[in-house]
Structure 1
Amino acid sequence: MKYKFMRLLTMVAWFSVVSVSLSAAEKDKVWPDIPLLDVITENGEFPDCTVLHPPVGCVGTGITADYVLGRLTMTLAGDTLYESGEYVKGESGMRIKIRGNSTGAAAGQKPYKIKLSKKFDLLCRGDEAYKEKDWNLLKISTWNTGLQNEESNLLTALGFILSRTVGMEWVPEYTFVNLVMNGRYMGLYYLTDAVERGDKRVDIQKTGFLIENDAYWWKEDVYFKTAHQITSMGYTFKYPDTDDLDDKTMGQIRQYMDDFEKVLFSGGDVGEYIDLRSFARWLLVQDITYNDDVAGSNMYLYKDDYDESVPMSTKLKMGPLWDFDAMFRGTSYKDQWGLFHSSPFFYYGQLFEDENFVEIYKEEWEAVKPILMECVEKGFADLEAKFGTALVESFELHKTLYPRECKNSLQAQMDELMGLLRERISVMDRLMEDCGESGIKAPEVVGGNMPERLFSVDGRQYLEKDGEKFPTGLYIRQKADGTVEKFISR
């Protein structure tokens, strides 16, 4: 009865929202018991974006977006957790813009990036070291054809659980929040740490770097390419900031990547250049969840520092893991190795020619396998204990705005994902045993060799067969010589 009454109150609150900030009393009475973010922008302006389409030979639909100035108030059960004040550059307030690429360009709920004028820990962890300016608001609903009702609300949470389970060096933290902007309810979101350099984020020295193997390099002003990257990919910078990046630093980073590639593709000891275990752990999450988004999976790489006199004093590491929308979507190969084993978008196909890397990958699997389900079950139990009823109530509130989302119950989603993981553990064991002395190779193509690869603009790989018609859309065909061309299915 209490739940039904609370649900009714949230419905009433939604339909009575007006274009003014909600009062503290209203927040205390009607909002579910998770943080409420109340954003008021200057002149009531809502963030907008311009959709960008890729040039020939590239993939993805991107966006460009400008910040909107404003103030942010965060409350919980009527208590104020944070108040930014009105926007004054460098002193108070905040800025907000639409983030993401394909998610930002898509219709419906928009993801956002928040930049505070002064550092604060919006996750309220009680440690001054967590204070930062940059924060992300991620959509609660993930479209995914491999899951019940083609949707999930828990893939981001599961991705972070798996990241910790395999031992990634840094994993973003999050909370669920409801967002109101200019008096308008905007939906349920994940509020997360941003992927950036920081003492409690990617903790690297000022002489280090954090880069991304990026399908959207073509919309950036500063980027570089290496000899073994395919045309559709390029390296972009998370750190150093491009405004602070001089020619010397750019040259050093590019040289390190070039040197690593030369050793990798000549069969040398890449362990001198990269942390093989971090590369193995990153891939394990992709393989465990048979992720099929090989172009847009946010392939971050970082190096703790760069000493010009001893370039390899620290090794290149893989991570952090980010963007989990395509987990369990690759149903056509859920009984095979994941697409990263054969994808031209990154280095793993070549790395699996290295016996040392194969052994490390196997060791990491054997280490994580006994604890995998226990960690996921505990992670979901902690999520339910912390957010529980408030999250269920927020699903209902969210559906008043997006009736086709949050369709599956919290319990049903947890059960489905744990069931898929149990099935995949058995598959992974079989694949490990079958690889034998030949190592871990790309999945074989039924019916013969595949000289060309076909990808949708979101990075999904398709097998091109005679007479087969693909869903309407734009595709990228990679030819045997490594060149690419656009392909349109009508």
Structure 2
Amino acid sequence: MKLKRHLYCGMFSCFLLLACTSPSEPDPLPEIEEKAELDESIAAKIPHVYITTDGAAAITSKDDYVNAELSINGNSVQADLEKKKTRIKGRGNSTWFFPKKPYRLKLDESASIFGLPAAKDWVLLANYQDYTLMCNAIAMKIGQQLNMPFTNSIVPVDVTLNGQYLGNYMLTQQVEVKSSRINIGDDGVLLEIDTYFDEEFKFKSAALQLPMMIKAPDIKSDAQFNSIKKEFEDFEKLLVDSKFPNNGYGNLFDKQQLVNFLILNTLVGNMEINHPKSTYMHKKANGKYTMGPIWDFDSAFGYEDDLKSYFNYSDLPLLRESDSRIGSKFFKIFLKDPEVIQLYKTTWTSYKNNKFDDLLSFIEEYAASIRESKKQDYAVWKYGDNDLPTAKKNMKIYIRTRAHFIDNYIETLR
């Protein structure tokens, strides 16, 4: 099925008008037309996940699991999943306090779901704020296209809990270090840079005061914690060194994946990396610090919290000179490196010339596939609007406009 190909294949492409004016005179935004209609030829049935907790117990905590049983009706889109014993609890930060709750599943035994590598831990993203029900899926698609390491796969599903239909969700992998997931080995390190700063093992980095949290490995001693902290701060010293970028910092840091990370977040307008929030970095033993895996894009795509709407600020730079937030200061450092700038230009040019049309097709197909689920979801939650054709149209216009913005932006990089 064509939709399945788009959901799981790692591809990357881009439509863009070529900039031909000087950096001080950027090309005006193009007039873009899109049709507010969905492809009726694409099947509108998606898999349905059924969860029944023991004794119909309510799920009220992000800390305490509830025993349950899981089964999935693939609706001919994917294979069915017979009854599996699992546990379920809440998840998320601010999203846990929305009416529609996100959940984490922990199967008693590892299982492959929808052909994805077998695991015990899975996530059901609620996307309550995201009334388009598409943002995270589109961002992950771009990550796959860019071959960003350990990018999640997204499968749209309907969810019924204890006999009550909860609406449209995205089933995806848990962010965790496993051989079948974030494969960095037992001696690898997974860090999260996030202003929530709410993990047990955390530190503010010495030079930049980055809110660093150690997600893996499990810390067993002060010596292990201090070793991880020192290793990162030794790398960080190179970023603020007077000899930067001519001090070999690239021996410790993956510049290509940094460029991919910046292109992705610029294209989808994910300004949250400036705080920063939900920003991951991993490193294999004796390897380089590498951005990713990517995560959490329901506040991207020009989302304005006061308006509760998407697709605003389509010409807003990702990293503004006047932005003094910690994340912004961190990422702007790398744009002082001519090699990073050149990588940015060549990577973007390859993207726009080869794969952006595939992204636009994915948006069309994903929207069409959830059209019935979206209606049912809206009937339950009455949030946002029920106009998926217009949301799809506006999403494509936003993405095209951001692509044009990047085309002008790279001409300003020196």
TM-score by length of 2: 0.79
Q: Which residue of 1 aligns with 2:318?
A: 338
Q: Partner of 1:277 in structure 2?
A: 256
Q: Name the counterpart of 1:300.
A: 280
Equivalent in 308, 318, 322 of residue 295 of structure 2: 322
TM-score relative to the length of structure 1:
0.67
Cα deviation digits, residues 25-52 of structure 1 (max 9, x gap): xxxxxxx732222212123221114xxx
1:427 paired to 2:413: no
Partner of 1:104: 96
Out of 202, 205, 223, which is 1:226 matched to? Answer: 205
With over 3 angstroms needed to count, the CA separation of the structure-2 counterparts of 1:202 and 1:343, relative to structure 1, is farther
- Deviation at 1:191? 0.5
Please list every run of 5 or more consecutive structure 2 residues that lacks an aligned counterpart in the other structure. Answer: 1-43, 304-310
Contact 1:111 1:139 (8 Å CA) reproduced: yes
Where in structure 2 are the equivalents of 1:11-160 lying within 5 Å?
A: 33-49=45-61, 64-77=62-75, 80-84=80-84, 93-106=85-98, 108-125=99-116, 130-143=117-130, 151-160=131-140
| Aligned counterparts, 1:86-485, within 5 A | 93-106=85-98, 108-125=99-116, 130-143=117-130, 151-217=131-197, 219-230=198-209, 234-242=211-219, 245-266=220-241, 267=244, 268-293=247-272, 294-295=274-275, 297-305=277-285, 313-329=286-302, 334-339=314-319, 342=323, 344-346=325-327, 347-383=330-366, 388=369, 391-405=370-384, 407-409=386-388, 411-435=389-413, 439=414
Q: Distance in 2 between matches of 1:248 and 1:322?
A: 30
Would you say the 8 A contact 2:102–2:126 is kept in 1? yes
- Per mean C-alpha deviation after superposition, the further-off stretch among 264-273 and 327-336 is 327-336
- Which amino acid in structure 2 is aligned with residue 426 of structure 1? H
Q: State how far apart, in whole Å, the 1-side matches of 2:212 and 2:376 are.
A: 40
Residues 47 and 68 of structure 1 are in contact (CA less than 8 Å); yes or no, is this contact kept in structure 2?
Answer: yes
Q: For 1:251 and 1:322, locate their aligned partners in 2 and report how far apart those are by CA, in whole Å.
A: 27
Could you report, residue by residue, the CA deviation over 1:297-329 in whole angstroms, capped at 9, with x for unpaired residues? 411000122xxxxxxx41110011111112222
Q: Write the letter of the residue equivalent to 1:71.
A: E
Name stretches of at least 5 consecutive residues in structure 1 with no aligned partner: 1-31, 50-63, 85-92, 144-150, 306-312, 440-490
Q: Please tell me whether Structure 1 or Structure 2 has the larger radius of gyration of its CA atoms.
A: 1
Task: Please give the secondary structure, in 1, of the residue aligned with 2:290.
Answer: strand
SS of 2:373's equivalent in the other structure is helix
Deviation digits for residues 385-428 of structure 1 (CA, Å, limit 9, x no counterpart): xx72xx2221122122112345122x433322221122222221
* 1:371 aligned partner, one-letter code: N
Q: 1:336 deviation in Å? A: 4.2
Are the equivalent residues in 2 in contact too, given 1:69–1:94 (CA < 8 A)? yes
Q: Cα 1:77–1:70, aligned 2, differ >3 Å: closer, same or farther? A: same
Cα shift readout 1:340-391 (whole Å, capped 9, x = no counterpart): 764533321222222222222222222212134212023235536xx72xx2
| Paired residue total | 354
Give the direction of change, closer, same or farther, for the CA distance of 1:47–1:73 in structure 2 (3 Å limit).
Answer: same
Partner of 2:36: none
- What is the percentage of aligned positions where both structures have the same residue? 25
Which AA in structure 2 matches 1:188?
N
